[in-house]
Structure 1
């Protein structure tokens, strides 16, 4: 525990001792702008809060490698998820460092590394694999008291990975990657010839809309999502075919067909068929995507659906937006801010960032 953490604990403890019941906010956790899992050189794993200035606000221990996190909309609380096919998720009080709860996937299920809260923070939704049935499911957890599982919904497809809540609603959008796996065979992909990825929209447990790719792209696994302020979905894909692919990025608006982004085939080859993370710019006019395999970050213009910029960035994966600029993280420990007129890079010695940068 750092001196800053001890100070926060003492301050909060003093308020409680005095009979005050403060409303604890993310400011009490150092006002981070982002969350990211990371690996330490000693082999341990942590969840970190990162400020807009790219400095570390806190580190909280994890029991194993993390993938992504879900930030509670009201209090400084985060759920850190294990990497697929992990079966744990831990609930952390980011202000004090306490572990508030631990979620365990039920028998026959494992997590996919992502989750989303309801608008009021009363419910948590987790993407999971019902691996005996070969179907995706959404776990529904009541957050108080103690994160109790209360329901399970069909995800609308196979291999659900990322999940987001549409702005100002409790409608969920799920990236069903289409890939069937089973813990007995690790991360082996069992159904590549018959893959059928989609986006599924879920309201109160019912799949109310799905959007699929053209048949020629059925091996393009839809994996990661972001949303603009109006609910347009940006999605990044991971190609499972044997030859080259001509698209890895798309957008979708409910009631329409997916809109696919174009790029030169040679530039797409640099991504090695793999999008690791995706993010809208703050004004919704650009989309950033990353490829740790290719060591590349790409920027697409939403209006033209065309590639606008390519940035070399070794082992880049996490990306999010804040204050009119993108921020990206890499497995080498870099945190880089990218704007139209400015760029800044911070080197975080001793941390290797994992896949995702989660905007608070």
Structure 2
């Protein structure tokens, strides 16, 4: 059968695992079974219309009436980057998938991009706008999610590369990005751009080398940054807390194991730090990754037990997703073919799921499901957020999501 594009039109493009060579093969989008349709109709818990209404009011208080209607958003919109190959010409292209998880049928809308997307920064002034960053490259662009197109691009700081992630200030006035000055031993900077024009306004140091992820806390006054450390003979990997207005270092956390490449992070509502680890540049692919946690007021600790599971966390621990209600963090390990679920307070492994090449994992807005992407031929499936059990009948394979991350977003649903 001929591959089919969104809307039923014949298409020569098929989904492909990012960075992997693969034979040409045909792809036919799957349909949801009755069970999948049923749970999409179930009333959402937690992130309800009642909870979303005041959020929308705060975000758009300058409007007499809410400009963006989020009242019927339950689980949210799934965003994920990936790659497709033309089965006739062999040409490849990067795409962004946009999937409304509140729809009965999960039909992705695709946006063609010039680079492999990695990190996401939603515009707090307009939920239809998203900035997407490349990892270790010159790519960064704004996407209009409603229109389904790239609207603007921006270059990195001169002599630097974008290193994967960024964030808007809470009021949207400024856009920050992690960047590395390559010829200066991967010196880390946070570039500052105007949130509307994207004009470069300045920078401040990350107080480390090869920064990757970042997040703002304390109402935007503090930025938390993971610094991978670059090559083995470079600076130590660390997580830094930086005072944004003063551009000063508040705190630097270093790892006991200098072979760790500090990767992705989550700061919980209580102030706990969760950090995924990868192997440092120059180490073999089977070097251990893992995950480190600092419960607020405690010490930064890497989970190493049970040992047989820890040894499966090879190469890199890629994506993290945290459930505030259960205090469970989910982590993917593509090289180890394993997804793990941990209680961050006790360090206890609650469950593990063995699947091929697990990559992105996120939590739906209503805290009901983890959404997981995996396999060389990309598929997406749901995991119950309370039991950490895969949801039967939830798998769908028509979205080319094979990048390192996914993002759950509250945006107006399209008619």
TM-score bracket, normalised by the shorter chain, equals 0.7 to 0.9
Q: Shift of the alpha carbon at 1:171?
A: 1.7
Alignment of 1:90-101 (within 5 A): 90-101=141-152
Distance 1:141 1:30, change over 3 A: farther
Q: Which residue of 2 aligns with 1:132?
A: 183
1:131-170, CA deviations, whole angstroms, 9 ceiling, x for partnerless residues?
12221111111111x2111111111100101111226444
1:101-157, CA deviations, whole angstroms, 9 ceiling, x for partnerless residues?
21101221000121111111221110101112221111111111x211111111110
Distance 1:27 1:2 in 2: 26
CA contact under 8 A between 1:195 and 1:219: conserved in structure 2?
Answer: no
TM-score by length of 2: 0.72
CA contact under 8 A between 2:261 and 2:278: conserved in structure 1?
Answer: yes
TM-score by length of 1: 0.82
The structure whose RCO (Cα within 8 Å, separation 6+) is larger is: 2
Alignment length (residue pairs): 329
SS in 2 for 1:116: strand
Aligned pair partner of 1:73 in 124, 143, 149: 124
Q: Shift of the alpha carbon at 1:194?
A: 4.5
What stretches of structure 1 move > 6 A for 4+ residues in a row?
25-31, 242-247
Aligned pair partner of 1:196 in 236, 240, 246: 236
Distance 1:342 1:329, change over 3 A: closer
Q: Shift of the alpha carbon at 1:28?
A: 11
Aligned pair partner of 1:325 in 361, 369, 380: 369
CA contact under 8 A between 2:133 and 2:165: conserved in structure 1?
Answer: yes
Aligned CA-pair RMSD: 2.9
Alignment of 1:1-360 (within 5 A): 23-24=67-68, 32-42=76-86, 43-53=92-102, 55-75=106-126, 76-84=128-136, 86-134=137-185, 135-144=187-196, 146-166=197-217, 168-179=219-230, 191-204=231-244, 205-214=247-256, 217-240=257-280, 248-252=290-294, 256-283=298-325, 285-322=327-364, 323-330=367-374, 331-339=376-384, 340=387, 343-344=391-392, 345-349=394-398, 351-360=400-409
Distance 2:93 2:6 in 1: 17
